[in-house]
Amino acid sequence: MRGMMTLFSLYSRRYMRNWLVVALLCAVFFPAIALAAEIQVEATLQPGKFSKDQAARFIVTVIGARSAEPDMPVAQGLHFTYQGQSSQTSWVNGNITSSISYNFLVQADKAGDFTIAPVKVSIDGKTYTSKPVQCTVLPAQNSGQAGGNSSRSGTTGVPLGADESKKIGFLRIMPETERMYSGQVVPFTLKAYFTPGRRVTLKSTPRLSGENFLLQSLDEEPQQQQEQVNGTVYTALTWQGTLAAVKEGSFPLIMEMDAEVLVRSRSRRDPFGSSLLDDPFFSGILGNYSRRDITLISKEQEMTVLDLPTENQPDNFSGAIGTFSLAVAASPLDGKAGDPITVKMQLEGKGNFALVQAPDLKEKAGWKVYPASGTVQDLGAGKGIKTFEQALIPKQQGITAVPSMRFSYFDPQAEEYVTLSSDPIPLSLETAPDQSVGQSTLQTEKKQASAALSDQQKDTQAIGGQIAGTHPGQHLAPLHPDVGKLIPAIQPLYQKLWFQLLMVFALFCLLIALVLYLKQQRLARDPSILRRKKVQEHLALHYEEMNRALAIPDQETFHQHCRAAIQQRTGEAWGLAPEAVTLADLEQRLPAEAPLRVVFTRLEQSGYAGEQLPQAELEEILQTTKNELDKLA
């Protein structure tokens, strides 16, 4: 009973584990399958009508996927600028829906009606397509007309009155300065205030109105907090960003943003008195709300954009505006002339890093200078670190230091140009016997080449040396004179047939070795297998001899092998040495009428008595012995 319980417990545990794995797999894969099955691609333009001097937002929304790769939208006469992506996951009535939106800024060359072609989106190797989107571009308007601390109703959905929109919320843009220079990056703070208790959904990221400023960066996610403005508590969303001016002059700075608000609809009054459904409780439950689109527009912020002064502008000024600090490091410092030195330059600060060029050498004589490559690390709010790497090669002996690096920028607060200079970095170059870098390099290369070249190739090397002064690859090792063995393609070793066959052979050998090893292990664990096999071999031999003796006929040999056969099998079955098995053993272990005992007794009797048995009886004995010994096996 206990055994059965243990067995049941083992089985139940194993099945429980299997079911648990299956359940986990289902839990992981079923939502994914459900999501994959319901992929939709939607394209929307907000607003559907916009003027030539404004921009619209084109949003490609992929519903039912967590990642996708959309193609750039295409429309004749419209320009698209990719502005980032946002993702959303919602849980409604137990169903999870993921969506990802790709935002593009749309601008038009001219007024008119346009069609944005379907956008292709690749998801896990499959291509999905949105529907085409129509839009109307109106002639250019004065951007000031749309300004003011106001909101305007959207063109999509059911519009909301302007006064009503103002009650819902407003935008405020606060640039760090109102006086800026053309090309300068100015950080700003943008705040969207909403009256509490409203259900507002942002439909777009904030955008600049007009063409006088460019949005350089903006937080993807705003910070949310409660703020009090003129005694009223609002829910405030705050973005940090940077902008730059395109040209000099005085321009209004306006930002706008699209949102959607849930507004309670007014129900008609029942002429026959108050209906139960008019009760606010039921109207709330029954969802007596409608969605309205609004566009929040910030109050105009007058900005003065100045041109950079031309007086005292340094020669190496490349357009950097802001405040920066410079750090320079170089390595290695203990090589020899001709060896490259990598100089790392780090500019840290606040400014327009896109226009920041690498610092230049104050003194270039004796140096071979390569172009620098740079990377920017954005720290937010206009701050950042730009790191440049530049390779320099000292061409002469006797150079003692990496010259100082210069970087010039315009400081908008001090309203003057500033030039930063690094300290020279001391070098300890080894003194080489050859004074010319070119010669030393050539010597090195020739040494390398000579190791592999044959006498015939050395002639070519001389030719290479002869032409050395005539072409740019002058210090390269010479051409190879022989074409060598041509092959159709560069193929890795593991793709070559001979190697694959060799590995298959090795694997085959290993498998055979494994099989043999397992067999040996089995025999070692159970020696009776081997013993049984040996007995079988002996029996076959005895039967063969018995048949031969029967044919001659030779009764003595027949008796001898028949007895030996019985002794072999019974000895193996009873765990006795074959030669030790006697008639007494058979009488002790087999019943009186057992055929084997009868045969053995008959053989003993005839052997002692010298009796010649008839041929038919001998054949019967042989058959009986075989049958009975097979049964014992």
Partner 1 sequence: MKRNILPSMLLRVLLRIVQVALPAIILGLSTLVIAGEQENAAALFEQANISFTQGEFEQAIAQYSNIISKQGVSASLLYNLANSYAAAGEVGQAVLNYERARHLAPGDADIQGNLEQVRKDAGLYRDDQALHRRLAGLLGADQWLLIAGCAFLFFSLSALLASLRTGKGGNGKSWLMTGALILCLLTLPLAFLRYQDWKVGVVLAEDTHLLISPFADATLAGDIKAGRLVRPGKEHGYYVLVETENGKTGWLAKESFALVVELVKE
Which residues, 6+ apart, have CB-to-CB distance to 144 below 8 Å?
Answer: 252, 300
Q: Does 71 bind partner 1 (CB under 8 A)?
A: yes
Q: What are phi and psi of 192, to 5 degrees?
A: -110, 120
Calpha distance 604→592 (Å, rounded)? 15
Q: Does 472 bind partner 1 (CB under 8 A)?
A: yes
Q: Shortest approach of partner 1 to residue 489 CB, angstroms?
A: 5
Q: Does 467 bind partner 1 (CB under 8 A)?
A: yes
| Contact set for partner 1, span 73-112 (CB under 8 A) | 81-82
Please identify which residue in 37, 365, 414, 487 interacts with partner 1, judged by CB under 8 A.
Answer: 487
Q: Which is nearer to partner 1, 127 or 223 (CB)?
A: 127
Residue 456 structure tokens: 């015939």
Find, among 193, 192, 195, 202, the residue nearest to 239 by Cα: 192
Segment interacting with partner 1 (CB under 8 A) among 143-151, 198-206, 258-266, 468-476: 468-476
- Helix or strand run (H / E) with residue 82: strand 78-92
| Contact set for partner 1, span 363-382 (CB under 8 A) | 370-371, 373-376
Q: Does 497 bind partner 1 (CB under 8 A)?
A: no
Q: Shortest approach of partner 1 to residue 218 CB, angstroms?
A: 13
Please identify which residue in 463, 501, 524, 632 interacts with partner 1, judged by CB under 8 A.
Answer: 463
| Contact set for partner 1, span 531-560 (CB under 8 A) | none
Q: Does 530 bind partner 1 (CB under 8 A)?
A: no
Q: Which is nearer to partner 1, 348 or 587 (CB)?
A: 348
Q: Shortest approach of partner 1 to residue 377 CB, angstroms?
A: 11
Q: Which is nearer to partner 1, 100 or 622 (CB)?
A: 100
| Contact set for partner 1, span 600-629 (CB under 8 A) | none
Please identify which residue in 507, 524, 580, 632 interacts with partner 1, judged by CB under 8 A.
Answer: 507
Which SS3 state, helix, strand or coil, does residue 198 take? coil
Q: Which is nearer to partner 1, 248 or 339 (CB)?
A: 339
Please identify which residue in 1, 92, 365, 451 interacts with partner 1, judged by CB under 8 A.
Answer: 451
Cα dihedral sign, 546-552-554-557: negative
Please identify which residue in 23, 233, 513, 580 interacts with partner 1, judged by CB under 8 A.
Answer: 513
Is the distance from CB of 62 to CB of 98 less than 8 angstroms?
no
| Residue 625: Cβ within 10 Å count | 25
Q: Shortest approach of partner 1 to residue 215 CB, angstroms?
A: 12
Q: Which is nearer to partner 1, 268 or 485 (CB)?
A: 485
Segment interacting with partner 1 (CB under 8 A) among 134-142, 188-196, 219-227, 482-490: 482-490
Q: Does 335 bind partner 1 (CB under 8 A)?
A: no
Q: List 112's β-bridge partners, or say none.
A: 137
| Residue 205: Cβ within 10 Å count | 22
Q: Does 456 bind partner 1 (CB under 8 A)?
A: no
Q: What are phi and psi of 4, to 5 degrees?
A: -65, -40
Please identify which residue in 502, 523, 529, 632 interacts with partner 1, judged by CB under 8 A.
Answer: 502
Which residues, 6+ apart, have CB-to-CB distance to 248 below 8 Å?
Answer: 182, 305, 306, 307
Find, among 529, 531, 619, the residue nearest to 569 by Cα: 531
Calpha distance 55→80 (Å, rounded)? 10
577-594 as b/e: b if 16+ CB within 10 A: ebeebeeebbeeebeeee
Calpha distance 94→74 (Å, rounded)? 38
Is the distance from CB of 156 to CB of 97 less than 8 angstroms?
no
Which residues, 6+ apart, have CB-to-CB distance to 547 below 8 Å?
Answer: 622
| Contact set for partner 1, span 391-450 (CB under 8 A) | 391, 441, 444-445, 448-449
Q: Where are the alpha helices (DSSP H) in 139-189?
A: 162-168
Calpha distance 289→538 (Å, rounded)? 100
Segment interacting with partner 1 (CB under 8 A) among 126-134, 304-312, 481-489, 591-599: 481-489
Residues near partner 1, by CB under 8 A: 69, 71-72, 81-82, 122, 340, 342, 354, 370-371, 373-376, 389, 391, 441, 444-445, 448-449, 451-453, 463, 467, 470-473, 475-490, 492-494, 499, 502-503, 505-507, 509-510, 512-514, 516-517, 520
